[in-house]
Structure formats: C-alpha cells, structure tokens
Structure 1
Amino acid sequence: MERALERVCACTDTHAAVAACDPLQARAIVRQLPILNRKKDVPGIVGLLRDILPAHGVPSRWGFVEAAAAMRDIGFFLGSLKRHGREPVDAVAGLEPTLLDLARVTDLPPRETLLHVTVWNPAAADAQRTYTGLSDEAHLLESVRISMAALEAAIALTVELSDVPLRSPAFAQGCDELAARLQKMVESIVYAYRYISVQVFYDELRPYYEPIRVGGRSYLGPGAVEMPLFVLEHVLWGSQSDHPGYREFKETYVPYVLPAFRAVYARFAGRQALVDRALAEAQAFGARDEAVGAGLAALDRVFEVLLRFRAPHVKLAERAYEAGRSGPAVGSGGYAPGMLGDLLALTRAAQSRLRTALSER
C-alpha cells in the first residue's frame, strides 16, 4: 500500500502550498469581507474585489498553486455578492475572463469550491478567509480539514485493493487500513455535531453557497457533498449501480473534485465494483475457505465505518433543513437532502449482500 501513501503525501503537500500562497496579496483585503457582509455593503465588496483582480493575462502565466490560491481569494467575493442578490460577473467588469483563465490553469470550475474554502484556506486565525467571521463557519471549515487527507489516502487504498485477491492477506490488511482512514470521516461528523449550530448554518452560512453563472453556465457553491467520498464509494460498491438518482448525483459532482479523482471515477465507471468482485471470488472459492472469510469480514468492517459516518450525516442534514423549513429545499452544494438518505440505503444494501455471503459460511 506504499503507493497510496506516496499519492496522499503529494496531495497534502499541494494543499499546504496553496494555503500558504497569496499571489494577489489579498490576505488583509479578504479578511474585511465579514464586516462588509454584515453591513450588506455591495459597493464596498465590489470595490475590494476590483482591487485584487489580477491584470489581464496574468493568470494564464501562473502554475496550479498560484491559480488555485487566487481563485480561493476571489471566490469569497463571489459567494458574498451572490448572497446579496448579485451575479458576480454582472457586478464586476473583467471578472468573468479572469475566472475562466483560473479554471483553465487548475482544471477546476470557474469559482470557489470546497477545496478552496477549506484545505486551501489557511487555518491560522489571523489568515483564514471566511464569508462571515462566525465561529460556526470556522468550525465548518475545520470539520472538512479533519478528514480530507485521510479520505484522499482512503481513495488511493481502495483503488489498490481493487486489484488485490480476496484471499490474499494483503486484502484484509488493506481493508483494515482503509477502515482506519475512514474513521476520520466519523470524527469530522462528530465534530460538526458538537460545534456547528444547525440554525446558524441554515440562516447565516448557507446563503453564501448559492450557484453563480460564469460563461453562460451555472456552477454550484462549495458544500461538503463535494468531498470525494462519492469517488471512493463508486470504486467500492457503486460503479455499476443502476439507481438513476445516484448516477446523476455522481455525475453532478465529479467536475468539482481534483482531476486525479475524476480520472479514478472514469476508470471505474461501468467496471465491477470492489465488493462485487470480492463476492464473486468468495463464491468461486467456496464457503469454508478461511482466507475468504477473513477478507469478507475485513471488507464488512469498512462498511461499518462508512455507515457510522453516513447515518449521522443524514440526521444532521435533516436537522439543518428542519431548522429552515420555510427556506430552500436543496442542500448547500445544490443537492436535495433526501439524496443522502438514498446514499445511506444504497450503502446498507451493499453491506447486506456482503453479510449474506458471510452468513452462508
């Protein structure tokens, strides 16, 4: 599993480099946004954004790190303007070509994403960019940081496990390592329960995550749904799922994850998922094979951890939208919260097939 660790180290280094980068010299300027947002000072927001926009053509000469950091800082203005009822590219001349240039350099959407506002955002209190300055927002960003590196490692592990025979000791070992990585997702949801008010999220934070239009297309705002957990589950159990809502869900959010994870998604699209391959091998080797039993049991432990994240996540989303029942019926990343219930049911169904095979031993 050494290759998986090498990949995640590379990702972690990139995240740190972007967080430390300030190509627009915008740190102090962006940190004025919470005050302007509280005042609903749209002219003030527009003026500051104009001050930090790079000169025409400059973004095309940047590398990934500089372009991602610039999009981060511009992005907080995008969400702020939309929160106050303005389409950013209509409000600020010259903004749209800059966003499109940054998108080309990073191969990401032409606005801020979950990556920009969390792992590419300095965590230090005197440098962190926010829309509101509220402690709940700082905790929301931290809840993502808690698990992102572990999740990226978990995706790499899942890809590697897809080629490891079920009966190999390396399969059970890899599953246990995968479960340990995914435990960080559980920790992140526990943290969110503890430190983020659902009422504050719905009333004060969610309005900054609305879609905006760039280049004639609509782009979703940052949301936890953009975490690449769905890429991991695609490889683990969902690559051949015929659930239309689930397929649409995945295809909606693939453009918002890193290009490397989009490549993983494409590689496994329509291919036999890891759990299906494991069940086929179990059937071929027979019920009494001890190595088969060990592999299936280890895979079941992965599902147990996934469900310890999925079930509380559904409840947290339900609480948030119960708190704001008179408002929008879609989540902060543009999805209907009911989709989380479908994901939970699909994950349980995959585990049920696995447990049926275990019970037949």
Structure 2
Amino acid sequence: MHGGTHIDVASEEFNAQVAQLDPLSLDVELRDLHRMNAAADVGALARALGDALPTQQRIAGFTLTECLAAMRDLGMYLGSLTRHDVVAFDAVPDAAGPFELLGRRTRMVPRDTVYHYTCWNPPGGRERLYTGDPMERGLIDAVRTCVPELARAIEIGRALEEADPHSAGQAGAWASFVECVTVVDTVMRAVLANVSHEFFARELRPYFEDVCLAGRTYMGPAAAHVPLFLIDLLLWASDGGSEEYLAFCDELVPHTLPDWRERYGEWRGRPSLVTRFTAVALGEQPLSPEEARHVQEGTRALGEALRALTAFRGKHLVMARRAYQEELRVYALGSGGGSTELLDEIIALTRRTRTRIGPAAAR
C-alpha cells in the first residue's frame, strides 16, 4: 500500500495528516450536512453519497491516510441516511463496493468507526458534523483527546505485561500508564458538565446505528469502541471479566484498529496483570526487599488505574442512565451495544478487583 500500512492514533502527526486530507473534495458539501439532516432530506443525502463515491481505480491509487479520510467522509453520509431510517446500501447500491474496498485497504471494518469520526476529523471550520451543535463538537473533542492517551497506555501496558513483576526500572512506566488512563476520567467530567443527556439521546445517538453490508452487521462510530475495553482486558478482565462482558468485548474488537485486534488476541487468554502481581506479592516464594518494593509499586499503580477507571465509569453511568431513561429512550442499548446494566456490572467487577489487590499493595 502506498504511504505505509501502520495506523498510529497515538501520533499527533498521523492524526493531523489524515484530518487535513480531503481526497473526495467534500469540504464544501459536508458543510451542508447538518442542514440536510435537520430537513431530513434523504433524497439530497442519497444523491450526495452517490456523487461522492470514488471508483475502484481511484481507491487503488489512494495512500493509507487518503483511504481513512475517504471512509471518514463517506461515513458521514452513511450515518445520516441511517439516522433517517434509510438503508444506504439499498438507496445507493453502488456504495457497497467502495466501502468494502476502503475497509480492505485499511484492514478495518467496511464503514466508518469512532476513529474516523474523532481522531481523523478535522477540528475547526472543516469539522464533519451530523448536527452542527456545539455539544457534538464537544463530544468529538473529548474522544479525540482520550484516544491517543489510551493508545499510549496500551503500548506502555504491553511493555509492562512482558516484564517480570520483580524487575527494576518500571516505576516511570507505571506512572505514565496511570496518567494516561486517568485522562478518560478527567475528560468525562467535562462531558457531563457540557453535554446534555437529552442532546445525546435524542439528537446524536440516532446517527450511530448499525448498518448491514454483505450479510454482516457493523456498529456505528460509538465511543464504546475506544480501547478502554482493551485496557480492562490487560489489567483484570482477561481472567476476571464476566461471560457477558467478555462477549461484549468480542463484539467490539472488529471495530478497532488492526494492531489492537492483535493485542486483544494475545491478551484474551493470558493471566491479567492484577492476577500476576497479586500472585507474586502474596505468594509463598520469598522476595528480597528490592523485589518486594518493585512488586508493591506495580500493585499500587494497578490500584490507581482501577480507581481511575471506576471513577470514569461512574460518571459514564450517570450520563447513560439519564440518556436511556424511559421518557427519553429511543434505543434499548447504547451505541456500542451495551446496556446500563452491563456498565453497572463492569463497575462492580472493577471495584471487586481493586479490593483483591489491596493486601498486595499494602504488603
């Protein structure tokens, strides 16, 4: 593939490169998208999607970043038609081929994802928006802030996962890991303060519905697809998650990045970091004072990371319960396919896991 094959959402340079591209020359047309949506002008939306479709030959000449930018922009029309109860691939049959080809070229699902909608969405005057509401911009910016931090946490976590719990020199890595994970809680606090649950439930959520292509269903660009579930898997869920939560994670995985699908495959069947560190800390094998200190540093950092995740999900649960209360609810499940009951269960499991490591951290 021209221009490389690695998708690095932790790289501000890579994200900015995709964001600045307009391979289908849709900058002007997409400024009118929120007006077409407000008018529910499905005819205009279908025509716009049809007119924007690149040929197979043209896609073959795109770089990786151009493919990502093209999928981002076509996806805005896809989500808009879906929101107005139009099956886009029936209304515009020629659209199926380009979506499938762009998915193959990028090794991602054949539709736009949360990464297209946030990380690779240009901020400012060129921002692609379904509604044009400042609250939509705020949500995009919140996820745009979180994803690179979570990407860094995954890379740090991979190094920690491969290291021996006894080994020296990990204190800095643990501190960076906790700092990255804590960002999601900080950002969620701003979302709760600045985005109303009514806006999300009634105005924005309908754009994130599933689509069916070639007999398979693909979820919309939901924030649930950010790699927080991968952090859970690494920390505690690979051997501490419920069957329901792990099944939910399995459904999310196809919608993430190629490298993260590989991490998921690696971590899904391995002992979690919590299990490994508590086994060493509370095990019968004696530790030298230095080894004990390194293990204790790790277990304390794990506790801090779990606390940050619990705090984030507590805020998320507040917003989810408000958005999906009976009088507002349009959909039974969140845009990532999860229920408020599942979110409640994840919080309980995370708290229980944090309790498990308390004696190890204190030893």
Same fold (TM over 0.5): yes
> Does 2:333 correspond to 1:330?
yes
Deviation at 1:90, TM superposition (A): 0.3
Counterpart secondary structure, 2:212: strand
Counterpart secondary structure, 1:271: coil
Q: Which runs of 5+ in 2 are unaligned?
A: 1-6
Deviation at 1:137, TM superposition (A): 0.7
Counterpart residue number, 1:353: 356
Question: Distance between the aligned counterparts of 2:328 and 2:42, measured in 1?
Answer: 28
Deviation at 1:49, TM superposition (A): 1.4
Counterpart secondary structure, 2:334: coil
Percent identity over the alignment is 33
Deviation at 1:13, TM superposition (A): 2.8
> Does 2:140 correspond to 1:141?
yes
Counterpart residue number, 2:166: 167
Question: Distance between the aligned counterparts of 2:232 and 2:303, measured in 1?
Answer: 14
Counterpart residue number, 1:4: none
Equivalences for 1:12-23 in 2 at 5 Å? Answer: 12-23=12-23
Deviation at 1:206, TM superposition (A): 0.7
Counterpart residue number, 1:193: 192
Letter in 1 for 2:50: R
Q: Cα–Cα, structure 1 residues 270 and 229, in superposed 2: closer, same or farther, change >3 Å?
A: same
Work out whether residues 239 and 272 of structure 2, in 8 Å CA contact, stay in contact via their aligned partners in 1.
yes
Work out whether residues 176 and 302 of structure 1, in 8 Å CA contact, stay in contact via their aligned partners in 2.
no
Question: Distance between the aligned counterparts of 2:8 and 2:54, measured in 1?
Answer: 31
Q: Structure 1 length normalisation: TM-score?
A: 0.92
Question: Distance between the aligned counterparts of 2:257 and 2:71, measured in 1?
Answer: 14
Q: Structure 2 length normalisation: TM-score?
A: 0.92
TM-superposition CA deviations, 1:82-110 (whole Å, max 9, x none): 11111000011310011100110011111
Deviation at 1:9, TM superposition (A): 7.8
| Bigger mean CA offset, 38-47 vs 162-171 | 162-171
**Number of equivalenced pairs:** 353
TM-superposition CA deviations, 1:205-239 (whole Å, max 9, x none): 11111111111211111111000111111111111
Equivalences for 1:84-163 in 2 at 5 Å? Answer: 84-124=84-124, 126-163=125-162
Letter in 1 for 2:342: M
Work out whether residues 202 and 323 of structure 1, in 8 Å CA contact, stay in contact via their aligned partners in 2.
no
Deviation at 1:156, TM superposition (A): 0.7
Q: Cα–Cα, structure 1 residues 326 and 193, in superposed 2: closer, same or farther, change >3 Å?
A: closer
Deviation at 1:166, TM superposition (A): 2.6
Letter in 1 for 2:323: A
Q: Cα–Cα, structure 1 residues 235 and 197, in superposed 2: closer, same or farther, change >3 Å?
A: same
Counterpart residue number, 1:39: 39
Counterpart secondary structure, 1:213: strand
TM-superposition CA deviations, 1:327-360 (whole Å, max 9, x none): 211112222232211211121121111013335x
Letter in 2 for 1:66: E
Question: Distance between the aligned counterparts of 2:92 and 2:244, measured in 1?
Answer: 36
Q: Cα–Cα, structure 1 residues 303 and 113, in superposed 2: closer, same or farther, change >3 Å?
A: same
| Bigger mean CA offset, 23-32 vs 348-357 | 348-357
Letter in 2 for 1:83: R
Question: Distance between the aligned counterparts of 1:36 and 1:127, measured in 2?
Answer: 17
Counterpart secondary structure, 1:327: coil
Counterpart secondary structure, 2:23: coil
Counterpart residue number, 1:305: 308
Q: Cα–Cα, structure 1 residues 39 and 204, in superposed 2: closer, same or farther, change >3 Å?
A: same
Equivalences for 1:175-324 in 2 at 5 Å? Answer: 175-241=174-240, 243-284=242-283, 285-286=285-286, 289-322=292-325, 324=327
Deviation at 1:12, TM superposition (A): 3.3
Letter in 2 for 1:317: A
Question: Distance between the aligned counterparts of 1:8 and 1:92, measured in 2?
Answer: 32
Deviation at 1:43, TM superposition (A): 0.8
> Does 2:338 correspond to 1:339?
no
